[in-house]
Amino acid sequence: MRVAVLGGGLQGACVAMELAARGVGVDLFDARARCLTRASAQNEGKIHLGYVYANDTTLSTALTMVRGGLSFAPLLRRWLGEVIDSVPVSRPFNYVVHASSLLSADQVEDHLHACHGLALKELDGATADYFGSDPRVAPTRMDPRELGDLYHADAVSAVFRTSEIGIDPEALARLVRERLDGDRAIRCRLSTRVRGVERNGSGLDVEFENGAGPRRERYDQVVNALWDGRLAVDRTVGLEPPRPWLWRVKHYVRLRAPGANVPCSTIVLGAFGDVVVYGAQDLYLSWYPAGLRGVSTEIEPPGWPSASEGGFSKEVREQILRGLAAIVPAVARLRADADCASTKGGVIFAWGETDIDDPASGLHERHAIGTRSSEGYHSIDTGKLSPAVRPGGGRQSPRDGMTGGEEVTLGVPVHRGSEFVAETLRSIREQTHRDLRVIISVDGPDPESEEACRPFFEDARFCLVVQPENLGWARNISWLMDQVETPFWCYQQQDDLLDPRYLETLVEHARKAPEASIVYCDIETFGYWEATITQPSLTGTPFVRQLTQLIGRHPAVAFRGLTRLDAVRGARGVPTNEVECFSCDTAWVSAAARHGEHHRVPVSLYLKRYHTAGVHRWWSKWPDERRAQAWIVHCADLLEQAMAIDAGQAERRLLWAAAAERVVSDRACPGYLPAASLTRAGREDLLKSFLSYVRDERSVDLPGLLAARWRTIGRWARELSLPR
């Protein structure tokens, strides 16, 4: 049986995991480059016990939430194991009744105790698995003195302590993605937007689009667990929404404030907000009047801009902090620019026609959720986070990819880069492959470059480190490589640009070619030199790859490609040398070639800027003697990489001959060696200097590797590279 699960949020993830556990293979579709990146990760993480839905006097919503909250941890433990206990948990929530609440303090208190009674009935004497908190403990009213210590007494009418908690949804999302990496029964179809489902005989055709264009595939069963696209896809199979609905986009603040003494608070009942403290340092802050930025009744929500795209990140952050500080004094002591502070936003779906400040709004009820099914097609309305793991049927999950995921760490070394780096970072932010971590390393204090990078920190994928002292370009890139923990690495020069499809295209090829340690594309140059730089794939055995590198390759095109983690770690950073790291990028490419093939994707998606301040430009301006010495050192660098492979004596001798021939030839890098070095006498001098340099300055044991004395090794080099 073929099953498609549409939507890689927590709901779709749980459905996929449950089906896989029962031996059913699943294709999990998601429009993003990884699962659990939107609503499932963009919320306060509250594991509801029904307390916030006090305006549903039937307690139907409360019962739905209690059942979801009490089963949340046990079900996730079933699929994820004990690692679920590593997710940061919030302090228990205080329920703060605002002076302008839709309900009185007494009404809220009655509702809290009614919800507690529902929880006790559901538990039936058993101990709850509820992330270390005990929902059997009844809510209690805070005494006025304590209330006055924690809150502005004139802004609230009462505060109640509860055992309700939240978990960090971003941490949970990471765990689920890691769990799904190893499930062979689940195939994630990422960066794939589902357009509709059509009945076809006894099956269902899923229509979707990805980088390859529009496609369709047949399935026996389809589970629609989409969030913002669910209604539109339902309509393609004849399921119409049963009642009016609202889409809303709400922004919030995430920040890190170690040791912050802020009470975990939910302010009720109306258009107010939350303060959530996960562990001892991470906070979620929301204030509804400031964070709400859009409402829609269309079948699909519009493409609302993120806070950074809309240019209102700072405004929203300040308004949220100000709104909460008027109720929770400790919030006023948090800095708006605290470490890792970011403004994020998520789309909310709910049945109703008016907003939550209306007492009659349908948004105060969330009990009419679950699954609607029709002949093999199942549409799931999650409602909230905690019911997502137990709707009304199976549960399931997401993600797969090349080798343990498709997340890319993109490293940007910056040195006096204020003129171009913002343009470069914009091209990174616009990548269609969204599963991305961007680390910017400023090489020594550089306020201008730091300021140019600052606007991009609103995107949580971007972070910046300023090195305490100048490392130089090679060591700075090596430092960035040392930070890589994702399946893939990409180097991004501070002044170059990427086509939006760059990473998506390379990742797509890597997914199909596990033998490739690097996937790269052609380079289009602009500036004072305009051309297309291409380089054939580097394939074959490790010996063949090293021989090919030595004989005729110099431009480090693959250096700017997508590199697998094992090759990054195996290459062990960019090898440096004593001539200002001349062509060390090419030596690194040779090092990476020891760990797999290098595959060319024949499209120009990398845009390299040539300008007068570029490092490579100065290499070509060196005096003749320095250029000749730099070339000797470079050839020795490549020789060392070649000799590091597992090879026989005959193969090593061929590699030595190729290295010697490279020294005296302009085949690999036409125009670099001075004309005087290419005469007969000049070549003899080059080779003699190379032999002396390798023997006296380098650690490679050629006599041992080649089973010959230095005199014989020199003779071979002269006979093969300087034929009479």
Give the tens place of pLDDT for each residue, 136-166: 999 999 999 999 999 999 999 999 999 999 9
Task: Find, among 441, 519, 516, 515, the residue nearest to 474 by Cα.
Answer: 441
Q: What average pLDDT score do residues 341-358 get? A: 91
Residues 411 and 558 in one domain: yes
Going along 538-695, which residue ranges are E strands?
562-564, 597-610
Greater confidence, 2 or 724? 2
82 within a domain of the structure (yes/no)? no
290 within a domain of the structure (yes/no)? no
Residues 6+ away with beta carbon under 8 Å from 284? 44, 45, 166, 252, 253, 254, 274, 275, 276, 278
Number of residues written out for the chain: 724
Please report the pLDDT score of residue 339 as a whole number: 61
Residues 602 and 642 in one domain: no
Boundary (domain end) residue, out of 385, 400, 415: 400
Residues 538 and 456 in one domain: yes
Does position 501 have pLDDT exceeding 50, yes or no? yes
- 116-130, 363-377, 541-555: range with lowest mean pLDDT: 363-377
Residues 493 and 639 in one domain: no
Residues 452 and 392 in one domain: no
DSSP labels, 361-375: -GGG---S-EEEEET
Please report the pLDDT score of residue 614 as a whole number: 66
Q: For residue 673, count CB atoms less than 10 angstroms from its CB and return exposed for 0-12, middle for 13-18, buried for 19 or more.
A: buried
65 within a domain of the structure (yes/no)? no
252 within a domain of the structure (yes/no)? no
Q: What average pLDDT score do residues 522-539 get? A: 95
Please report the pLDDT score of residue 404 as a whole number: 35
705 within a domain of the structure (yes/no)? yes
Residues 669 and 562 in one domain: no
- Rounded to whole angstroms, how far apart are CA atoms 692 and 551? 21
229 within a domain of the structure (yes/no)? yes
Boundary (domain end) residue, out of 619, 643, 669: 619
- 17-26, 161-170, 202-211, 611-620: range with lowest mean pLDDT: 611-620
Element (H, E) at 710: helix 710-721
Give the pLDDT confidence of 174-199 residue by residue, as tens digits.
999 999 888 999 999 999 999 999 99
Please report the pLDDT score of residue 397 as a whole number: 28
CA dihedral 152, 156, 157, 163 (to 10 degrees): -100
Confidence class of residue 102 from pLDDT cuts 50, 70 and 90? very high
Please report the pLDDT score of residue 392 as a whole number: 41
The strands making up 26-29's β-sheet, listed across from edge to edge, are 186-189, 26-29, 3-6, 221-224, 377-381, 370-374
Please report the pLDDT score of residue 338 as a whole number: 64
- Rounded to whole angstroms, how far apart are CA atoms 486 and 436? 9
Residues 6+ away with beta carbon under 8 Å from 63? 50, 118, 367
The structural domain count of the chain equals: 3
- 460-474, 556-570, 707-721: range with lowest mean pLDDT: 460-474
Residues 474 and 567 in one domain: yes
Does position 336 have pLDDT exceeding 70, yes or no? no
Phi, psi of 532 (to 5 degrees): -115, 120
Q: What is the CATH number of the domain that holds 376?
A: 3.50.50.60
Q: What average pLDDT score do residues 526-554 get? A: 95
Q: What average pLDDT score do residues 655-674 get? A: 94
Does position 400 have pLDDT exceeding 60, yes or no? no
Q: What average pLDDT score do residues 108-137 get? A: 94
Does position 499 have pLDDT exceeding 80, yes or no? yes
Q: What average pLDDT score do residues 461-489 get? A: 91
Containing structural domain, residue 508: 402-619
Task: Find, among 584, 691, 676, the residue nearest to 634 by Cα.
Answer: 584
Q: What is the CATH number of the domain that holds 429?
A: 3.90.550.10
Does position 460 have pLDDT exceeding 80, yes or no? no
The widest CA-to-CA distance across the chain, in whole angstroms, is 104
- Rounded to whole angstroms, how far apart are CA atoms 632 and 221? 64
Q: What average pLDDT score do residues 420-448 get? A: 93
Which of 17-26, 136-145, 400-409 has the largest mean confidence? 136-145
Residues 463 and 480 in one domain: yes
554 to 240, 415, 497, 634: CA distances (angstroms): 61, 24, 22, 10
Please report the pLDDT score of residue 385 as a whole number: 76
Q: What average pLDDT score do residues 429-452 get? A: 91
Please report the pLDDT score of residue 395 as a whole number: 29
- Rounded to whole angstroms, how far apart are CA atoms 167 and 132? 11
Boundary (domain end) residue, out of 565, 598, 619: 619
Residues 476 and 609 in one domain: yes
Greater confidence, 581 or 280? 581
Please report the pLDDT score of residue 615 as a whole number: 62
Does position 298 have pLDDT exceeding 70, yes or no? yes
Please report the pLDDT score of residue 156 as a whole number: 97
Give the pLDDT confidence of 40-69 residue by residue, as tens digits.
999 999 999 999 999 998 888 898 899 899
Residues 673 and 603 in one domain: no
Q: Which two tokens stand for residue 327?
A: 């109720």
Does position 7 have pLDDT exceeding 90, yes or no? yes
Please report the pLDDT score of residue 367 as a whole number: 74
Residues 434 and 501 in one domain: yes
420 within a domain of the structure (yes/no)? yes
Greater confidence, 545 or 333? 545
Mean pLDDT of the chain: 91
Please report the pLDDT score of residue 510 as a whole number: 93
Does position 391 have pLDDT exceeding 60, yes or no? no
254 within a domain of the structure (yes/no)? no
- Rounded to whole angstroms, how far apart are CA atoms 718 and 696? 18
Using left for φ > 0, alpha for ψ between -120 and 50, and beta otherwise, residue 28 falls in beta
Give the pTM. Answer: 0.56
Please report the pLDDT score of residue 381 as a whole number: 87
Residues 543 and 674 in one domain: no
